[in-house]
Amino acid sequence: MPNVLIVYGTSHGQTRKIARRIEEHLVARGIAVEAHDVRNLSRTFQVSQYDGVIVGGRIWMSKVPKNLREFVIFAGALPYTRYHFFLRWVMKRIATMAGRDTDTSRDYEYTDWDEVARFAEEFADQVQPRARVQPETRAAAVSPL
């Protein structure tokens, strides 16, 4: 069974949520997955022990977390209710200038989940190509009995 490591850097949880969704897709394709917050990754871990590695990081001021600097993936949320007072005020000002959502009594999620699914499935294709449906299997599937 192929195995994949997912490493993510998150501040308010959206990147973790995306990592989990990707994990679900890969597991459904018969791939073993280990997902870790980059802060919890052991210093001794070896990338070479995995068949594939996915790294995801939230973007702040056009930057991903320092420890993930070389990599970028998608996130996308304005979780106003999870921000402390000052950050909520700052983010509302930025959102206003950018013409985005500004109701700070609720959270907004902009993640394109279809895109996440597409990414996960394409990645799974690389690690574990889909099994070809054998003619006998197809015949059995349409058998009236």
Ligand X SMILES: Cc1cc2nc3c(=O)[nH]c(=O)nc-3n(C[C@H](O)[C@H](O)[C@H](O)COP(=O)(O)O)c2cc1C
| Cα–Cα dist 94/96, whole Å | 5
Residue with the CB atom nearest ligand X in the bound state: 58
Q: Closer to ligand X at the Cβ: 111 or 128?
A: 111
Instruction: Specify the residue, 51 or 88, whose C-beta has the smaller distance to ligand X.
Output: 88
Rounded distance, CA 134 to CA 17, Å? 36
Q: Which residues bind ligand X (CB under 6 A)?
A: 10-15, 58-62, 75-78, 87, 91
Q: Name which of 104, 26, 119 is nearest 74 in CA terms.
A: 119
How far is CA 88 from each of CA 46, 85, 91, 122, rounded to the nearest angstrom?
Answer: 39, 5, 5, 36
Q: Which is nearer to ligand X, 37 or 125 (CB)?
A: 37
**What's the closest the beta carbon of residue 28 comes to ligand X, in angstroms?**
23
Question: Least CB distance from residue 52 to ligand X, whole Å?
Answer: 21
